[in-house]
Amino acid sequence: MGELAAALAATAEAVTSELDRLLPVGDGLESRLHQAMRYASLNGGKRLRPFLVVNSARLFNVSESAALHVAAALEMIHCYSLVHDDLPAMDDDDVRRGQATCHRQFDEATAILAGDALLTRAFEVLASPRTHSDPAVRCELVRELAAAAGGYGMVGGQMVDLLAAENAHLMDVAAITRLQQLKTGKLFGFACEAGAILGKASNRLRLALRAYAHDLGLAFQIADDLLDAEGRDEEVGKRLRKDDDAGKATFVSLLGPERARSQARMLAEQAAAHLDAFQEKADLLRQAAWFVVERRT
């Protein structure tokens, strides 16, 4: 196993234990809700966003325990967004990460509530003293995550995505780039900036990480479109080619697979270049930029 694969596996394991600890099953009838929250978040996944939190935090010698706490909160947001996006009224998906989606395993009402509760719990976790001894740091994390995840961030991006098919004439490369920047880019941005916030980094280093995250997020999304166009359902663990079926424009449909692939590689290179100031300390983050482009799932 390469250095990056080992680091990804270690973070995935650590953040999964952290989530396990942070999402206990209560008593009473509501334990069904807690089971659904755990089902939706303890089910594997690449844990790429936690990896970015942990490794950007390392650049500033932030304690591993604080970074994992923030990483778990961020992953709760990511997992809630998948649960809600998979609902019948949205993307209507039956399979996620190779298993039944939350509303298929439980039911729609439980899935809606499990998403709501994961989203809420994320902010409770971030605001708790274990995140950082300085409450000003915790408040900044709450504000930044809410801004990245809310109506002017990820949720706004999901709204645009739902309207994209019927507004196909508007969806050129610039519009798709903006959509993806909202839908996935902003959470990637938070993942990388969180390390800088925890480490009280200078504005210059924080901006460098944001620029890295911006390019990484876009490269990730183009690679996703390529996988969607060329991958096999069983390997990727979710239903593929639904954008195509829905008549939605993607980077691949607009640029063609060749130009899309070279664009993703160019972005990965550019992402890595933003990390120059961190020298060899940022090697894992540089490798992650290549990984998101070359991944097969």
User: 95: helix, coil or strand?
Assistant: strand
State which residue, 5 or 90, has the beta carbon closest to its own copies: 90
Residues 226, 205: Cα–Cα separation, whole Å: 32
State which residue, 72 or 275, has the beta carbon closest to its own copies: 72
Closest CB 88 distance from its own copies, rounded Å: 8
State which residue, 113 or 207, has the beta carbon closest to its own copies: 113
Residues 83, 94: Cα–Cα separation, whole Å: 11
State which residue, 248 or 274, has the beta carbon closest to its own copies: 248
Closest CB 165 distance from its own copies, rounded Å: 11
Closest alpha carbon to 70 in 4, 3, 22: 22
Closest CB 223 distance from its own copies, rounded Å: 24
Closest CB 116 distance from its own copies, rounded Å: 5
Q: Are 210 and 192 in contact (CB under 8 A)?
A: yes
Closest CB 5 distance from its own copies, rounded Å: 33
Within 10 Å of residue 229's Cβ, how many Cβ atoms? 17
State which residue, 3 or 108, has the beta carbon closest to its own copies: 108
- Point out which residues bind its own copies (CB under 8 A): 26, 28-30, 32-34, 37, 80, 84, 87, 89-90, 107-110, 112-121, 123-124, 126-128, 134-136, 138-140, 142-143, 146-147, 149-152, 155-160, 162-164, 167, 170, 178, 182
Q: Are 230 and 250 in contact (CB under 8 A)?
A: no
* 157: Cβ contacts below 8 Å, ≥ 6 apart: 179, 180, 181, 182, 183, 184, 186
